[in-house]
Chain A
Amino acid sequence: MRKDRRMFVQQLGCLSIGFSMLPTTTVLAESFTVAKEIERNLSKESVNAWLEIRENGRVLIYTGKLELGQGIKTAVAQIAAEELNMRLDLIDVQMAETEVTPDEGFTAASMSIESSGMSIRLASATAREILLKMASESLNLSKESLKMEDGNIFGADKKTSLFELLKGQHIEGKVDENVEIKAKTVRKYVGQPVPRSDIEAMVRGQSVFVQDLRFPGMLHARVVHPPKYAAKIIQFDEENSKNWPNLIQLIRKDHFVGVVAEKEFEAIQLAEKIGGQIKWDSGQNMPEQKELKNHLKNLPVEEEVQENKGDVGQSSKTMVSRSFFKPYLMHAANGPSCAVAFFDGTVLHVWSHCQGTYPLRRTLANFLEMPEEKVHVKAVPGSGCFGHNGANDVATEAALIALELPNKHIRLQWSREDEHAWEPYGTAMIVDIEASLDTNGRIATWDSHIWSDGHSNRPNSNPNTLLPSRFMNKDYGHHGIGYRGGAWRNAAPYYSVPNLRVTSHMFLGPLRVSSLRSLGTFTNIFAIESVIDDLSEKAGKDPIEFRMEHLDDPRAVECLRKLQDKIKSISVIENEGLGVSFSRYKNETSYCAMAAKVSVERKTGQVKVQKLWAMVDAGETINPDGLKNQTEGGMIQSASWALKEEVKFSSKGITSLNWASYPILRYPEIPEVEVEILDRVEQRPVGAGEASMAPTTAAIVNAIYKATGVRIVSLPVDKELLKA
């Protein structure tokens, strides 16, 4: 079955490139395939869903994931390079795009290496075996005598290129789950600190981000969002507004208002002027900020026991009982969300930094009442991510505008206020723990109650997961609590506890929420590791020793032991403290042991995190520098959450609208960070992007306790409590 496998590329922008003639650097974001590829099978079992051997001797890897700064593009190239024994500069990576890459859901939950990376590994290794077999037949040499290197196969004095061998065809075959994996033995590319090539593109100011996309005749849009959740327009003189100079189009759909202009600054001014003339009703009521914890505890809940073993009701003389609180937190990417949309009269094209192109397509198609195949979504990197931010929402709004202005590229850039006020936050949480020791100083009982909203409301086909659905007269309903499992992620201690109960109390809170880096793990580990420290003190034990005594997993113990060695020479003076923590993310992926050294200025209560040390075991390491970078970033972001961050609101709506009203940690306050990796080649590689978040805050509050004797149970750290 030999068909022509060329793809047809239609020019929609300033660049047109034939697929098989791609430049050697990367697949350019401005161009994409319009007609479906003739033959490539996108089912995940198929080898050619994941890779393609190209005429110019290069290999193109297809991943359904997006580069979000986590280095996935480099990591998957390393994985393929290893199995194909091919130089990295011969490998290109195509990121998520509907009808081009496999549907891999979302780039989320630290799963890119575990899912996409491992699929690409198996597909590349299978491809290698198929190609070697084909070469053996073609060259009439035994397969064992052949060697594959840099896109060629050599044997005796013969040589063939992979492309010649395929005669322009795809590799036919299914991914072999039992194929030999060279990465476990050879490790020429995998396990090496390969630098990311996109960083050089960034320092050169090349076009990298969705914000950088430019098309001829592209127009700039801005939107007018309501002042508060659920506010509706009660007065708006549209006809009069249409007279503003420079306004190309005013788009009004129920309570959604967008403006389009040729120049970006004109669009900004028009949105301000027109927005200023709209009268809104009073919208949704908000609870008092200072009453938030009580408010949440008094909401109706759905209660469920998640774990129950033994009897947590046993009495003990040595009890610890604490109630922990974590506020609403923002993703707060440095660059607000942005999208470009283009409607060619038939198909809607969207360039987005969304986490999932297929889920966005499905949901967008339902919202716009268009057939799914008439919506095409291409992922282009944006700023930060850290979970479900405004990317899907801005893409939907750009689409609403583009449908009104066919054959024009519409670039919609959210303002800082749009992002801060409307992104779905990480939910506030309360964790109450009661734990006890037996007479031997071992943990006897552990009873934990978690109050939380859902932790994911990503686009799920229902339009109510897209913000603009809330601006329509049609009632799409509330998306509800959404994914609940995030609330009790890491709620059961990884330590041996004979009598354990974990109960969840799910509420529907007042603020819009979805996935934020590490979900409920952050609060659960903050709570667990604080209580473990309290228990170790009551048991008269060193906190690291106490933890190791309650761990059955030798990898966990080794992490802590290595950390113990690392910090044994660290000394503290008055008002300084050294705290430790440990967690295994999701209780089944990356191990992370953490230490923090803090100093507290008792006159002001000011906390300075001086240094953080992390010991990480993420199984087989694909790129140690990438793993370190992710871990360091998590440590610094977590320190910021612990010390600074809280979404503020009032009767006026969200009041954390910029960096002054939502401060985060800045350079003068950044701790020194040190990360050591325990590479375990024999283990499967697991995601690590979220693993350091929770242990960092836990280690910081434990260090504050050592420095001051004050147990921080509510975040962010309240300086008033530390004054003395």
Chain B
Amino acid sequence: MVETLTLQVNGKEHTVDINPETPLLYVLRNELQLNGPKFGCGLQQCGACMVLVDGEARPSCRFPVKTAVDSEIRTLAGLIKEDGELHPVQQAFVEEQAAQCGYCLNGMVMSAVSLLEKKQNPTEEEIREALAINICRCGVHSRVIKAVTSAVKKARP
């Protein structure tokens, strides 16, 4: 049942002995000790567990790890440069104080980064659509929209 799989996560190769059906989320959190992706629903309904799979934001809670072996996975921590500098979207979340409890923050950052990698100058409507999967219960949406908009502006001075 257990297989040895090699994953590309945040630019590094990781080898894990794992049931290949295990959703990527649990491998990232428990085997690789990455806190970014969070368990929210296990149903791909809330976006708490978003990661970038080959640059595309997608929920990791039902994504069997065996299907991730040929992909480049990036998590929240993988957005940070080696010198510790935050990604512009992460930086904007700090500047706009776009969190309350912060549990959903990972998913929103990942959705926004994925959007900005595809589209350099999204409209507010496009930002809202890109984040539609992300549930936030504390109601920080308006700050998140501001943060993503400001990250867009900084990327295109």
Q: Mark B110-149, 1 if CB is under 8 A from A, else 0.
A: 0000000000000001011101101111111111010000
Further contacts, 12 of them, CB under 8 A, given A415-B42, A636-B140: A199-B105, A203-B86, A204-B90, A211-B38, A211-B103, A335-B39, A383-B38, A386-B137, A630-B100, A633-B139, A637-B139, A659-B46
Q: Are A667 and B102 in contact (CB under 8 A)?
A: no
Is A385 interfacial (CB 8 A cutoff)? Answer: yes
Is A483 interfacial (CB 8 A cutoff)? Answer: no
Is B55 interfacial (CB 8 A cutoff)? Answer: no
Q: Are B103 and A384 in contact (CB under 8 A)?
A: yes
Instruction: Evaluate whether A334 and B103 lie within 8 angstroms (CB atoms) in the complex, with A265-B23, A632-B140, A633-B138 already known.
Output: yes
Q: What are 20 A-B pairs with beta-carbon distances under 8 A?
A: A69-B138, A195-B94, A199-B97, A203-B109, A206-B35, A211-B39, A214-B33, A268-B42, A331-B137, A333-B137, A335-B38, A335-B40, A382-B101, A384-B103, A632-B142, A633-B138, A633-B140, A658-B43, A659-B135, A668-B128
Q: Are B105 and A416 in contact (CB under 8 A)?
A: no
- List the interface of chain A (C-beta within 8 A of B): 68-71, 195-196, 198-200, 202-209, 211-212, 214, 220, 245, 263-266, 268, 331-336, 381-386, 413, 415-416, 625, 629-630, 632-637, 640, 658-660, 664, 666-668, 670-673
Q: Which 7 A-B pairs have the closest CB atoms?
A: A636-B139, A69-B101, A69-B100, A633-B139, A383-B103, A205-B36, A202-B102
Contacts of B135 in A (CB 8 A): 334, 659, 664, 666
Q: Are B102 and A198 in contact (CB under 8 A)?
A: yes
Contacts of A415 in B (CB 8 A): 42
**Size bracket, chain B contacts:** 35 or more
Shortest Cβ distance from A70 into B: residue: B100
Contacts of A206 in B (CB 8 A): 35
Q: Are A634 and B139 in contact (CB under 8 A)?
A: yes
Complex-state Cα separation, A429 to B94, whole angstroms = 39
Q: Which of A413, A636, A666 has most chain B Cβ within 10 Å?
A: A666
Q: Are B22 and A265 in contact (CB under 8 A)?
A: yes
- B70 nearest CB across to chain A (Å): 21
Complex-state Cα separation, A383 to B48, whole angstroms = 11
Q: Are B35 and A334 in contact (CB under 8 A)?
A: no
Q: Are A203 and B140 in contact (CB under 8 A)?
A: no
Is B4 interfacial (CB 8 A cutoff)? Answer: no
Q: Mark B44-60, 1 if CB is under 8 A from A, else 0.
A: 01101000000000000
Q: Are B137 and A664 in contact (CB under 8 A)?
A: yes
Q: Are B142 and A636 in contact (CB under 8 A)?
A: yes
Q: Are A659 and B45 in contact (CB under 8 A)?
A: yes
Complex-state Cα separation, A636 to B26, whole angstroms = 31
Complex-state Cα separation, A300 to B69, whole angstroms = 61
Q: Which of B1-40 contact A (CB under 8 A)?
A: 1, 18-19, 21-23, 26, 29-30, 33-36, 38-40
Q: Are A264 and B103 in contact (CB under 8 A)?
A: no
Complex-state Cα separation, A265 to B102, whole angstroms = 24
